[in-house]
Amino acid sequence: MATISLVVPCYNEQEALPIFYDTVEKVIHEKLADYAVEYLFVNDGSADNTLKEMRQLQEKDPDHVHYISFSRNFGKEAALYAGLQNVGGDYIAVMDVDLQDPPDLLPKMLSGILDEGYDVVGTRRVTRAGEPPIRSFFARMFYRLINKISKTEIVDGARDYRLMTKQVKDAILSVTEYNRFSKGIFGWVGFKTKYIPYENVERVAGETHWSFWSLFKYSLDGIVAFSETPLAIASFVGLLSFVGSVCALIFIIVRAMINGDPTPGWPSMVSIFLAVGGLQLLCLGIVGKYIGNIYLEVKHRPIYIVQEKK
C-alpha cells in the first residue's frame, strides 16, 4: 500500500484545524481508500490553542496523525521545510490548513503522477476573486517582474499546494538555504511539473497572516533569493549617471569657453546633488539587502527549533 503524506503548516489555526481534518478524512474515505494517508501538522509557534487541537487529533488517530511543534513562530517556509524533513510517504503533498487548497483535488493530482508520469502536480489559482484589486495588481506585477529577471520560472498564481514524489521532496530538502522562498525553490529543483487550475476559495475560518506590507517584503525576499539582476541594475544606474554627468560637464566647459561663466543655477545644482545622493542610497540599499542575506546565511542558524514532536 503506497503512503501519501500531507505536510500542513499551522499558525494560529485552532478553528480551521478540526475542519481541515474532517474534510480531508472524507475525501480519503471516498476517493483515496487504497492509500495510507498520514498527516504531519507543523505548529509554527501558534499563540492560540492550535497545539492543543493537534494533540487531540493525534490521540484520536495516533496511527495517521503526527505533529511537530516549534518553539516560536519561524514562518511558513520553515514549517514546510520541517514537515518535508520529517515525512516518509511515497507521495508528499504540502497544503494549507485553511482549506484554501481544496483537498478534493488530491485524487486528480495523484493521477497526474501515477497515470500521466509527472513528478510534481501543483495547483494554480486562475482567479483572484475576493482579493483586494490593488493586491492582485501588485501580485501580477511581481510575477511579471521576477520571471523577467530570474532564470527560475515562478508560475503566476501557483500555490504552494502540490503533490510530489519522494525524489522531488529529497531534491527540495537538498536546498538548505536559510532564506527560503519556496515558490522559487519548487521551480529551481526542476522535474516534470503540471499545474491544475482552480477557482480561488475563501478561507474556512480564521484570517490570513499576510498584510500588504508583509507580502511586499516577501516578494522582495523572493527577488533577492532568485535573481542578481537588481545588483546589475544598481551598477547600470551608477554608470548611466556617471556618463550623463561627464557629458554635462563637457557641455558646461564648452559653454563657459564660448559665453563666459555667469554662475547662475545653484537650485539645479542642489537638485542634482539630491538626485545623485538618492541614487547612491538606493543602490547601497540594494547591495545591503544582498549582504544582509549573506550574513543570515553564513551564520548557519537552524531553520527552526522543535519543542515537541509526536
Would you tell me which residues interact with ligand UDP (CB under 6 A)?
9-11, 13, 44, 73, 75-76, 79, 96-98, 100, 208-210
Out of Mg ion, ligand UDP, none, what residue 184 binds, judged by CB under 5 to 8 A for its kind, is: none
Between 11 and 195, whose beta carbon lies closer to ligand UDP? 11
Residues 223-242 that bind Mg ion (CB under 5 A): none
Which residues partner with 3 through β-bridges? 36
| Residue 236 contacts which entry, ligand UDP, Mg ion, none (Cβ below 5-8 A, type-dependent) | none
Span from 78-86, 88-96, 105-113, 291-299 in contact with Mg ion (CB under 5 A): 88-96
Q: Which stretch binds Mg ion (CB under 5 A): 29-37, 95-103, 130-138, 249-257?
A: 95-103
Rounded Cα gap, residues 116 and 114, in angstroms: 6
Half-sphere exposure of 294 (CA within 13 A, CB side): 7
Cell 499558525 identifies what position? 11
Nearest distance, CB of residue 230 and Mg ion, angstroms: 29
Q: Collapsing DSSP states into helix, strand and coil, what is residue 56?
A: helix
Pick 9 or 112: Cβ nearer Mg ion = 9
State the nearest-atom distance from the C-beta of 152 to ligand UDP, in Å: 20
Which of the listed partners (Mg ion, ligand UDP, none) does 10 bind, with a CB threshold of 5 to 8 Å by partner kind?
ligand UDP
Contact flag: residue 100 with Mg ion (CB under 5 A)? yes
**For Mg ion, the closer CB: 100 or 200:** 100
Nearest approach in angstroms of CB 98 to Mg ion is 4
In the list 38, 44, 77, 98, the residue contacting Mg ion (rule: CB under 5 A) is: 98
* Alpha carbon distance 160, 123 (integer Å): 8
- Non-local (6+) Cβ contacts of 101 within 8 A are 95, 123, 159, 160, 161
Cα distances (angstroms) measured from residue 147 to each of 66, 183, 222, 229? 37, 12, 11, 11
Phi-psi region of 157 (alpha: psi -120 to 50; beta: other; left: phi over 0): left
By the rule CB under 5 A, 147 interacts with Mg ion:
no
Give 152's DSSP letter.
S
